Amino acid sequence: MKKVILGILTLLLSAVIISFLLKEILQTKPFSNRRNNSLCKTEKFGRAEFFSGIIVKKYLDRKNHSNRTIKFKNNNDIKESILFALDSSGAYDFLIEGDSIVKNKGELRVRIYRDSVLNEFNIDYGCKH
């Protein structure tokens, strides 16, 4: 009986130590820098994107990692964007079909027009410069 209890205590202590070490390793600078670099790269691509049009559909694209996706009509073309995939500004949640949207190249600001009222959002990917 003592061996069983000792074995269980050793196992629990080992699990606690391993959990602590994993936490420390994952919070070290190289891992957090890698995440931030990824977010900053996404921000760079977001800044480079330009589009304007009328929202015809918004959905989670199950074939593309369930990214938040919009389809919009510009002239006679239907285009698609995943600009909002990692964004935390609330713009995607605000959007509804029929809204007009403008995103200028070089900016992270998105202008959404609904019933002639302008709503602006600053896309936020969480990049720490």
- Tens digit of pLDDT for each residue in 71-127? 999 999 999 999 999 999 999 999 999 999 999 999 999 999 999 999 999 999 998
The answer to the question of residue 45 being in a domain is: yes
Asked if 82 and 68 count as a contact pair (C-beta separation under 8 A), the reply is yes
pTM: 0.71
The answer to the question of residue 70 being in a domain is: yes
**d(C-alpha 26, C-alpha 95), whole Å:** 36
* Domains held by the chain: number: 1
Residues forming beta bridges with residue 78, ordered by sequence position: 73
The answer to the question of residue 6 being in a domain is: no
The answer to the question of residue 15 being in a domain is: no
